[in-house]
């Protein structure tokens, strides 16, 4: 029987499914202190046991994004605040390569708050 978190990824339509699964793998390999958790009915990633980032799909555009919990404290041109108070998000085009350099920079900056 699959876990809820695994079903969440499998139930997404392509090309978002592949993009989200690639993001999942990338985040988990980013740092040995990152663990995966199922919180608020969404895939969350914890850094040293504290909520770090999560994956989701935008309701309007249907684009995958990574929510950065401490994103409000990070100044990066690809991070979008919108109406969020604490978090910022990084949107992805599922038909393009992941912007790994930007992702690395953002997650490195975010990990400094833990």
The count of domains in the chain is: 1
pTM confidence score: 0.94
Distances 90 to 2, 42, 66, 77, 106 between C-alpha atoms, Å? 28, 16, 5, 10, 9
Residues 4-37: tens digit of each pLDDT: 999 999 999 999 999 999 999 999 999 999 999 9
Q: Measured between alpha carbons, how far is 1 from 97 in angstroms, rounded to an integer? A: 32
| 47, β-bridge pairs | 34, 50
| Top-confidence residue, 57 or 84 | 57
Residue 96 confidence (pLDDT): 97
Domain CATH for 70? 3.90.1150.200
Domain that holds residue 106: 4-111
């Amino acid at each position: 029987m699959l876990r809820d978190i695994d079903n969440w990824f499998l139930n997404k339509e392509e090309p978002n499914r592949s993009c989200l699964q690639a993001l999942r793998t990338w985040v988990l390999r980013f740092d040995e202190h990152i663990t995966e958790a199922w919180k608020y009915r969404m895939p969350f990633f914890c850094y040293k046991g504290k909520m770090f980032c999560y994956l989701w799909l935008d309701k309007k555009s249907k684009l995958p994004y990574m929510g950065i919990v401490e994103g409000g404290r990070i100044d990066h041109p690809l991070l979008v605040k919108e109406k969020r108070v604490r978090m910022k998000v990084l949107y992805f085009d599922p038909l393009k390569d992941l912007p790994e350099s930007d992702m690395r920079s953002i997650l490195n900056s975010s990990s400094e708050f833990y």
